[in-house]
Amino acid sequence: MLLSGLNIRIKSIQTGQININATTNTASINAVDLDNSLLFHLGQATTSNYYSSGLSYVKLDNSTTVRATRKYDDATTYVRYAVVEFYPHTFKSIQRGLITSWVAETGTYTISAVDTTKSILMHLGQISGVDAQPDAHAQLATIELSDSETITGTLGDYLTAPPTVSFQIAEVF
């Protein structure tokens, strides 16, 4: 997709950090238009000795709230995020969701149809489904737009319980 001819203008950028001491926490932001805003997971750190305790995902609860979630509450996890709001008519659609339904190493999520040549899929983090700390790395997921209506997640190994993966997909005109 050639971007040189697009007139994309950013209206606002808000960044922040959410400290999670339980399993979820939120941050308030200035109101944004959800149809014109993208959320970015900028990474995480944890005080825990366990890998899976630091895994997290972010999502927009509404136009003024960013939520960060993790599975365990044994330490503090620090999650960085950015919300970028664009002026209207940048995106044809923005869809967000959580992949929670898995069969073996594959998870899927059905979206409204998009033009696959004009859409970008973004991974917004994930939490592990397993309690066995040494095996949590096997549940790191990749995601792809497998057709115009399906987001597919792929795991290294299924183990005993599925992860939760947050995503958003933006389609331009």
Instruction: Spell out the domain ranges in the chain.
Output: 10-172
> Which residues are CB-neighbours of 68 under 8 A, at least 6 positions away?
18, 20, 24, 25, 26, 27, 56, 57, 58, 77, 79, 81
Output 2 or 142, whichever has higher pLDDT: 142
pLDDT at 2: 41
Contact (Cβ atoms closer than 8 angstroms) between residue 152 and residue 143: yes
Task: Give the residue-averaged pLDDT of 100-117.
Answer: 93
> Which residues are CB-neighbours of 23 under 8 A, at least 6 positions away?
69, 70, 71, 72, 73
Whole-model pTM above 0.75?
A: yes
| 115-127 pLDDT, tens digit each | 999 999 999 999 8
Task: Give the residue-averaged pLDDT of 82-93.
Answer: 95
pLDDT at 75: 86
Written as six digits, the tokens of 36 are 């014109």
Report residue 1's pLDDT band, with 50, 70 and 90 as the boundaries.
very low
The pLDDT mean for the chain works out to 89
β-pairing, 24-28 with 141-147?
unpaired
Written as six digits, the tokens of 107 are 């998870």
Contact (Cβ atoms closer than 8 angstroms) between residue 128 and residue 139: yes
Task: Give the residue-averaged pLDDT of 99-124.
Answer: 94
Asked whether residue 136 carries a pLDDT value surpassing 50, the answer given is: yes
